[in-house]
Each structure stands twice: as C-alpha cells, then as structure tokens.
Amino acid sequence: QLQLLESGPGLVKPSETLSLTCNVSGGSITSGSYYWGWIRQSPEKGLEWIVSIFYGKNTYYNPSLKSRVAISVETSKNQFSLRLSSVTAADTAVYYCARQFVVRGLTPPFDYWGQGALVTVSS
Amino acid sequence: QSVLTQPPSVSGAPGQRVTISCTGSSSNIGAGYSVLWYLQLPGAAPKLLIYGDTKRPSGVPDRFSGSKSGTSASLAISGLQAADEADYYCQSYDRSLSAYVFGTGTKVTVL
C-alpha cells in the first residue's frame, strides 16, 4: 500500500523559506505514469494546487506561486521536497503531498495523499 | 476566489439521495476538462471518489456517482449514511489559469 508522509518545520518566520519533504513508501517515486505534487489547504483559500513533477520529465507550477516555488526529487531516499520562498501569513496552511496518476485524456487525479503538515507563518 | 462554485451545505436523512453541484465556466468544465470529486473527513486528507467525470476508483461504493453537463458537474450520493458526513470537493483544470483548481467545498450533513 502506497503511503506518503510529510515532514518539516511547523513554524516559519515571515520572509523566510518554507521547506517540506514527502517520504514515499510502498512504491517507487520513479516508476509508472505518476506525477508527484503538493497541495495546500487554508480556511481563506480552500484547497490550492501548488506544483506537480513527473520524475525526469516535466514540472508544472501554479502560475500564482511559480516565482516562489521549487520542487525536487531525491530518488535515493524515495522522497520529494517543496520549497516556498518569501513566505507571509497568507502561506499559513496545511500542506499535503500527493500522487497524481496519468490517465490519457483526463484530468489526472490525486489518488494518494499524505496526512498533511500544518505550517504556520509567524514571527 | 475559487473558479469552481459549490453550495456550502446540503443535508438529507439516512437512506435519501443528495446531490452536490459544481459550477464552473468555459475555461474549465465547459472546455471539456474532466471533473474529479473528493471526500474529506474532519482532520483527514481528501480521498478520491470520482475521476473522469463518472469513474469510481476501486473500493468506492456505487452509491457515489458523478455526472457532467455544460459548465457544471454533479456528485450524487444515494442511500445516505451517517458515515457520509464530510466535506466534498470538486476539482478540474482551468486553461485560463493554467492550473488545477478545486471547488469551494460542500458540507454534507446527515439528519
């Protein structure tokens, strides 16, 4: 059974960089027709897609966040990471990592999700 | 802010059928991008219920069904159960925003 687990600091100061890692177990991050992505959820904005990466190929960013987002994959540890720079209070949210599976001709679903990590931006 | 609009809440008695609407536009649902639906229990991550407008992943009961017409989509829950009390979200892709977008969410209450 595929499992995803987010980890990282729960508190980040304004203007600093938020860093989260998603550890994937029960399946390889490099196999199959899958994207690996990040989504966040806050009371103010609801669910908001951040970025998705297809290992070795494409990366897709939410244009509203692209200038501040970086995503990377570490295959040796079977994990992928998110960095969001210049954070403000508006970036306070629960951050989820998730797998998206590619289905030809369809909007790719997020079929496996991590439990979520609350990140608060505050001094 | 969301480009996909859902009713804030719907309710029904056990055993009844309820439907949740998801209203989009010509740049997302109306452009032909497929719709997905998720269920979120309190304190948990969203769970995929429907993809490709009408398809159910393995393990999702056939009490849940999706449909789409024009710029809108709907999720129907038949034989409503107490365990169905949750928040439900639609999702699609918006070509104007070049982004995957989620609905505003609907809370289902079982009376």
> pLDDT tens-digit profile of A50-94?
999 998 889 999 999 999 999 999 999 999 999 999 999 999 999
Task: Dump pLDDT digits (tens) for B26-59.
Answer: 999 999 999 999 999 999 999 999 999 999 999 9
Q: How many CB pairs under 8 A join A and B?
A: 64
Look at residue B2 in the predicted model and tell me its pLDDT: 79
Which residues from B are below 8 Å from A45, CB to CB?
1
Please enumerate in sequence order all residues whose Cβ is within 8 A of that of B90, keeping only pairs 6 or more positions apart, or say none. B4, B6, B20, B22, B35, B36, B37, B38, B73, B75, B102, B103
Mutate to test the interface with A, among B37, B47, B51 (most CBs of A within 10 A): B51
For the cut 70, the answer to whether the pLDDT of residue B1 exceeds it is no
Cα A96 to Cα A22: distance, rounded to the nearest angstrom: 9
Task: For A86-117, write each residue's pLDDT tens digit.
Answer: 999 999 999 999 999 998 889 999 999 999 99
